[in-house]
Structure 1
Amino acid sequence: MHAFTYFFSFLLMLPVALSAQPVTASVQMQRTLFNERNSKALYARLTGELQRKMPRDSFSRLITHYAKLGTWRSAEPGPTLQGTYHYKVQFDRETMDLAFGLDQKARLTSFSLTPWKPLTPDPPHAPLPSSNALATNFDRRLDSLVRQVIDQKRPTSLSIGIIDGLTRRTYGYGETFAGSGQIPDTTTVYEIGSITKTMTATLLALAIQAKKLTLKTPVNTFLPDSIPLLQRDSVVVTVETLANHTSGLPRLPTTIGTGTFDPQDPYRHFDRQRLFSYLRTATLASKPGTTYQYSNLGAGLLGTLLEIVWGRSYEQLIQEQICRPLHLTKTSSQLIASLEATMAQGFDDQFRPMSAWRFQSLAGAGAVRSTIADMIRYAQAQLASTTPLSQAMTIAQEPTFAKNGVPVIGLGWHYMPNGWIWHNGGTGGYSSFICLNRRTQQAIVVLTNKSGGIADALAVPLQRIVTN
């Protein structure tokens, strides 16, 4: 009944809090337009950013899907959690939780309907336990910064890893499960989300070294003949444009929310057959190689192409070519029992428990889960010049796309103005961040069990502490 719900809200930025009057007026507007089934007018009330993420036809299907609930009868105000407004909405057939955000012009920055259940308010701001011994000035500066962000974002489990030359530091804050008293340690498992893309880029670089392809190889080389040439203005999509987000493909396939779909596990049922079916009618938003447009679809497709190139599953590829050479013993794209046993419970930005995400054809975009110990080893390998993967990692880090002469991205890795490279990650219940600088031999990894950009909020301030 609620196939589109979580998928739609997951793509959105945190909204801005407004006074009660425009919020009430927005609810009345939404109710009127919904009951009129006027999806066109309702779509016009979305911000431009939201419209870019949800095409008009997909939004119309969403409203048609919700129409099965019947007439919207009433709306009772609920809590406002981290800037998201909640209303208990009574329809003919079900009671739903309306969650939405508004910008300063009262345009919708988010919109979702889920079955109603009492929402858990943000927990009291009691100090979270920590493994930080506060033994050095660096420890104390880090602790002060972390607790400022924790007070605002409230993760329940947070792991941090720092590399500064030959020094490695790891810190744990909070609890792996609320009320457990268990501070996260170096073996606590988190979903790392889109940091997976840097591993996919490494696999691509290894395939280049093995002369199985080049960066300029057209993706159709490995696709079924039934899929038309992916091109625009006579320029074809190459494996390079998949890796650096300049292919012109959208962020996600527009068909991911159709057919069999689990809103709590949105990538689970999107298999290779559905991926190829989508590609048969896919259109590109821009000429390949000319415009940066972040695409989970592109990175996921690259992972599938590498499976075809190597004749191995994505899990087999990362285990054989990355995890074993680097001794990453608790890293996997699969939710195996040995990882699940020490995995921190994930929460969304409203502190609702979230299930783990599973992937099929888009595994290369975000399927990996790992620990702070393994991710520090991974970061160390990215800094090194003497590991079995050093040459491939160098290839993946080299800039492949620039704007106004300034590097934007390599293969998967994004560039900061100060020369550091980085990637973040976010799934239904986790957020993550990694950044590193080969010249200074420094790296930072942040893993949390709560969505909503907590890791992003910590990473750049942590970088200032590390470099000063």
Structure 2
Amino acid sequence: MTGQTAPLDELVRRTAEELAARRRGAVAVGAIRGEESATHGADPRALFEIGSISKTFTALTLARLAGRGEVALGQPMSELLPSGAAVPQLDGRQIELEHLACHTSGLPRLPKGLMPRGLFSADPYAGCTEEILLNGLARTRLRSVPGSRFRYSNLGAGLLGLALARHAGLDYDELVQREICRPLGLEDTRVVLDGERAGRLAPGHSRFGRPRPGWRLAALAGAGGLHSTVSDLLRLAKATFGDGPREVTDAIALTRATGHPISKISTAHPGWLSMERAQDKGGPRLLFHNGGTGGYRSLLAVIPERRAAVVALSADARSVDAPGMRLLSDLAGRSG
């Protein structure tokens, strides 16, 4: 029985069991094939840190604001930061919002001064306040001319979230709630968990099975500070198919239409990476983002034209990418 003909529930169960067999922390797997959906593993409402999938929410928030004309993709970041904030340039080129969203800003991966001390901490980003970030930004040298080269940057994505929140007069959490979560009905996707939600958070573990505390990303929340559930992320996946409120599906379309080539087969979009699959030459592209924090790993992968999607969440720091991508391949099959 091939992946395309096997029952969806069976395929998802197998993937959840494969992941659970190798780790101590909870796992939750969900998938969509056509009009069907299935989840296995932990309760679909169990919460996990989703790490860099937060960047997808940050970029979609940018796209929503741009769609209303409140900001522009090509707007300099400096215009949304406090007056007097020093923003590095190179060859006279300013960092634009689109550059932050596509990782072409030229900014380094991490904030100035975080290494080496910060990443050896159990909660490495907790001290990244707005003041510290902007002071560090003033002393940062760009690695490439803005807009010219893909260089993955947590700093850039975090600054995008910070800049958009300042522009809106809200904190990052509330801005994402307003622009993405409430329109899509994502009840549990947020930075700060209240008492009831905190009780549903799956405890994180290192890749060796040791308990790990949660991460607080402070002013860098736009890079990786959100928590979510399989249920919520499947709703976001459906929105990439065009199923959802027009304001969100239009924002998704804008992120897909905007991009910077990385290689012959891959492109960086605001909040996503897309790839041409070997079995789909010239056909539908895989759209995805993954994430990782001290005690969690996550994957959101979709092929919208096939109405195929996979969400894999783990409260353990070992990657979920390979099993998740195999499941998506089983669901989507080949072109023709």
Provide TM-score, normalisation by structure 2: 0.89
Unaligned stretches of 5+ residues in structure 2 = 1-5, 278-284
Note the C-alpha offset of 1:271. 0.5
Moved over 6 A (4+): 258-262
Cα deviation for residue 169 of structure 1 reads 0.9
Question: How far is the alpha carbon of 1:312 from its aligned partner?
Answer: 0.8
Q: Percent identity?
A: 33
> Which stretch shifts more, 195-204 or 353-362?
353-362
Matched, 1:285 2:143: yes
Query: Structure 2 vs 1, CA of residues 352 and 228 (structure 1 numbering), >3 Å: closer, same or farther?
Result: same
SS of 1:284's partner is: coil
Distance 1:228 1:343, change over 3 A: closer
- CA 436–155 in structure 1, closer or farther in 2 if over 3 Å, else same: farther
Alignment counterpart, residue 377 of structure 1, candidates 235, 245, 248? 235
| CA distance in structure 2 between the aligned counterparts of 1:458 and 1:342, rounded to whole angstroms | 25
- After superposition, give the CA deviation of every residue in 1:287-330 in whole Å (9 maximum; x if it has no partner): 11111111000000000000111111111111111111111111
- Partner Cα separation in structure 2 for residue 291 and residue 253 of structure 1: 19
Deviation (angstroms), 1:137: 4.1
Counterpart mapping for 1:398-409 below 5 A: 398-403=257-262, 406-409=265-268
Amino acid at match of 1:336: D
- Alpha-carbon deviations, 1:399-440, whole Å to 9, x = none? 410145545111010012230100000011110000112211
Q: CA deviation at 1:138?
A: 4.0
Partner of 1:160: 29
Asked if 1:171 is matched to 2:16, the reply is no
Aligned to 2:286: 420
Which 10-residue stretch deviates more, 319-328 or 360-369? 319-328
Larger relative CO (CA 8 A, sep 6+): 1 or 2?
2
Q: Quick check: 252-261 or 370-379, which moved more?
A: 252-261
SS of the residue corresponding to residue 276 of structure 2 reads: coil
Q: C-alpha displacement at 1:158, in angstroms?
A: 1.0
Q: Is the 8 A contact 2:49 2:227 kept in 1?
A: yes
2:300 to 434, 441, 456: 434
Which one has the largest radius of gyration? Answer: 1
The residue type equivalent to 1:451 in the other structure is A
- Distance in 1 between the 2:189 and 2:244 partners? 22
State the distance in 1 between where 2:25 and 2:152 align: 29
Equivalences for 1:68-467 in 2 at 5 Å? 137-151=7-21, 153-172=22-41, 184-256=42-114, 263-384=121-242, 386-387=244-245, 388-403=247-262, 406-418=265-277, 419-453=285-319, 455-467=320-332
Q: 1:223 Cα shift?
A: 2.4
Contact 1:212 1:309 in 2 (8 A): no
The Cα of 1:148 is off from its aligned counterpart by 4.3
RMSD: 2.1
| C-alpha distance in 2 between matches for 1:145 and 1:349 | 18
Q: CA deviation at 1:371?
A: 1.1
* Pairwise CA distance, 1:261: 9.1
| Equivalent residues, number | 320
Higher mean displacement: 225-234 or 241-250: 225-234
Cα deviation for residue 382 of structure 1 reads 2.2
